[in-house]
Homo-oligomer: A and B are copies of this chain.
Amino acid sequence: MTDGPDARGDAFNPECPTRVVLDRIGDKWTALVIGALEGGSLRFNELRARVGGVAPKVLTQTLRAMERDGLLTRTVHAQVPPRVDYELTDLGASLTGPIGILTDWAETHVGGILASRAAYDEQADAR
């Protein structure tokens, strides 16, 4: 290891594994893109329609970052009009497991979280 004593729990170290992953899936669109591509490859505008409400610039940024991280491949077909396919790599597909677990947790517990928020905010309002 060249990472020093403990790259595991270090929010500063840009190579802390958990940080790398959290920074990627914590952004607004990555998880949605992974979900959209689970069913197979899609073209840029298909992805855009599927994800819904994302500006092209932002989708491009997201896609580039994911490509850079090896989560998906970008295939440009030499045609007119252009056709670009995005597809999950094995690495990207393997992320659907952990994300699914997070989503399951979220769906079973979000009720409690929202209730807790409401209670907390009500206390604050009362003062």
Contacts and interface: CB of A to CB of B under 8 A. Distances in A.
Interface string A15-59: 101101111011111011001000000000000000111100000
Interface of A: 8-12, 15, 17-18, 20-23, 25-29, 31-32, 35, 51-54, 67-71, 91, 94-95, 97-98, 101-103, 105-107, 109-110, 112-117, 120-121
Contact of A109 (B23, B25, B91, B101): B91
B17 A116 contact: no
Task: Report whether over half of chain A's contact residues are helix, strand or loop; otherwise say mixed.
Answer: helix
B9 A32 contact: yes
A95 B105 contact: yes
B94 A113 contact: no
